[in-house]
Chain A
Amino acid sequence: MKIEHLSFAYGDKIIFKDLSLDLDGKLYSLTGDSGVGKTTLLKLIGGLLVPDKGNITDAPRTPSFMFQEDRLLPWINVRKNISLVTDDTEKMEELLRTLDIDGDLMPTELSGGMARRVALIRALCYRGDALLLDEPFNGMDEKLTDKCIELILKEDKFTVVSAHQSEVHVKLGSQIIHL
């Protein structure tokens, strides 16, 4: 994937000006200060935002997006939330078991870390050609983070992760893009 001369602004606030990147590897980590544009870049790659100038070639067609917020539908349970994006119930049940989540719980009954895990399971279950993960390990302890990293790596897809924990990038073995 190639980002060429990309510019993007929210109104008057310029986020990127003439940004060019070559992403010919498989695993990338986005780092940088808060507000620097990590989420915006993920959304631009994922096609949720359109650049003001420049272009992204060979961008993922159907990326699995894990947002900074969990964005689970509060009116249906965890299992239903995930099954809305996948028919692969076997994979869903396996991931729920692995990450120790009760699929019958409602999103309002989940702790912060549990909700992150559910959002990650949803992203992993989606038939996407890439993983775009925004702060996926928030609220998780080291053991759970390691488990999630293992699952992400197992997918073997083009992945971009934005995470503020520096040790995570080492564990992922990803190339770092510092914004």
Chain B
Amino acid sequence: MRSDKVNRITKTVLAFLFWMLVWELCALKVGKELILPDPFAVFRTLGELVTTGKFWLSTLTTILRIIAGYLLGIILGILFSVLTCTFKTADALISPLIRIIRATPVASFIILALLWMGKNYVPLFMSLLMVLPIVWGNITEAYRNTDERLIEMGRAYSFSRMKMFLYIYVPSVLPGLKAACMTSVGLAWKSGIAAEVLSQPKFAMGSQLYYSKIYLETASLFAWTEVVIILSFLIEKIFKYGFEKLFARIMK
């Protein structure tokens, strides 16, 4: 078991070193830091960035903004799904709306959102918009696939509406909700950053990416991208761990 873990870590480190080497060789071959800076220059820039207040303020604001959008997306997804499953009229109204949201390109929504709201809210709105259809879809499908035999059992034993909801429907949809929450974390993060790049709020990682591009600071662009990737990885891990624990507890 332990040697398995050591093997896995060794493999990851070796793969990392391999790609660093590939990167370094490519940078040497290109020979222009403006197009492809070498890994050392990028890490040096990253080292400089983390000592500035702007870095921490931008990072923290981005994290808070995207998490807020993500959680709101989950809440609204649940709410829309409950309405869809409860009222036929709501189903007729909400289902096409969600289909439109799914089909619309992210960039179109970002531009529209820029017209509708302050630029500080666009990333939050975009994260929300990416999460909502996934949560809605998973819950609605799970609700519709609830075991008919259990529903009949509930009817036979005169279960109240509340009992039906708590003991039959909620446990039936929980796995779908869990899957939706877990798969949409990464999506919320990426779409939130993309929205920041286009809307450029004052303190935001996406804005820093945009400024790096504008001022041709390619090393800084790479450094910020690295931070985005590392945070994406960490946030996904933390949320997945948190949801595993939370849902295990609810299911008990």
Shortest distance from the beta carbon of A17 to any chain B beta carbon, whole Å: 24
B171:A84 contact, CB within 8 angstroms: no
Given that A75-B171, A75-B251, A76-B167 are known contacts, is A69 also in contact with B149, CB under 8 Å in the complex?
yes
The residue in chain B whose Cβ has the minimal distance to the Cβ of A71 is B153
Once bound together, how far apart are the Cα atoms of A85 and B158, in whole Å?
8
Given that A67-B149, A84-B163 are known contacts, is A73 also in contact with B157, CB under 8 Å in the complex?
no
A73:B251 contact, CB within 8 angstroms: no
Given that A71-B149, A73-B150 are known contacts, is A48 also in contact with B155, CB under 8 Å in the complex?
yes
B251:A126 contact, CB within 8 angstroms: no
Asked if A108 is at the interface (CB within 8 A of a chain B CB), the reply is no
B178-213 near A? 1/0 per residue, CB < 8 Å: 000000000000000000000000000000000000
A126:B149 contact, CB within 8 angstroms: no
Q: A residues within 8 A CB of B159?
A: 84
Once bound together, how far apart are the Cα atoms of A122 and B159, in whole Å?
13
Chain B interface, number of residues (Cβ within 8 angstroms): 14
Shortest distance from the beta carbon of A97 to any chain B beta carbon, whole Å: 22
Q: A residues within 8 A CB of B92?
A: none
Q: Which of A48, A63, A71 contacts B150 (CB 8 A)?
A: A71
Q: Which of A63, A64, A73, A126 contacts B167 (CB 8 A)?
A: A73
Asked if A62 is at the interface (CB within 8 A of a chain B CB), the reply is yes
Shortest distance from the beta carbon of B88 to any chain A beta carbon, whole Å: 22
Once bound together, how far apart are the Cα atoms of A62 and B158, in whole Å?
8
- Main secondary structure, interface of A, reads loop
- Taking CB atoms and an 8 Å cut-off, the chain A residues in 57-102 that contact chain B are 62-65, 67, 69, 71, 73, 75-76, 84-85
Shortest distance from the beta carbon of B192 to any chain A beta carbon, whole Å: 34
Asked if A51 is at the interface (CB within 8 A of a chain B CB), the reply is no
- Taking CB atoms and an 8 Å cut-off, the chain B residues in 150-185 that contact chain A are 150, 152-153, 155-159, 163, 167-168, 171
Asked if A46 is at the interface (CB within 8 A of a chain B CB), the reply is yes
Shortest distance from the beta carbon of B23 to any chain A beta carbon, whole Å: 49
Show 27 A/B contacts (Cβ-Cβ < 8 Å), sorted by A.
Answer: A46-B156, A48-B155, A62-B158, A63-B156, A64-B157, A65-B153, A65-B156, A67-B149, A67-B152, A67-B153, A67-B156, A69-B149, A71-B149, A71-B150, A71-B152, A73-B150, A73-B167, A73-B168, A73-B171, A75-B171, A76-B167, A84-B157, A84-B159, A84-B163, A84-B167, A85-B157, A126-B157
Q: Known pairs A71-B153, A84-B167. 8 more at Cβ < 8 A?
A: A48-B156, A64-B157, A65-B157, A67-B149, A67-B153, A71-B152, A75-B171, A84-B157
> Which residues of A are in contact with B by a Cβ distance under 8 Å?
46, 48, 62-65, 67, 69, 71, 73, 75-76, 84-85, 122, 126
4 cross-chain pairs, A with B, having the tightest CB-CB distances, nearest first: A65-B156, A71-B153, A75-B171, A85-B157
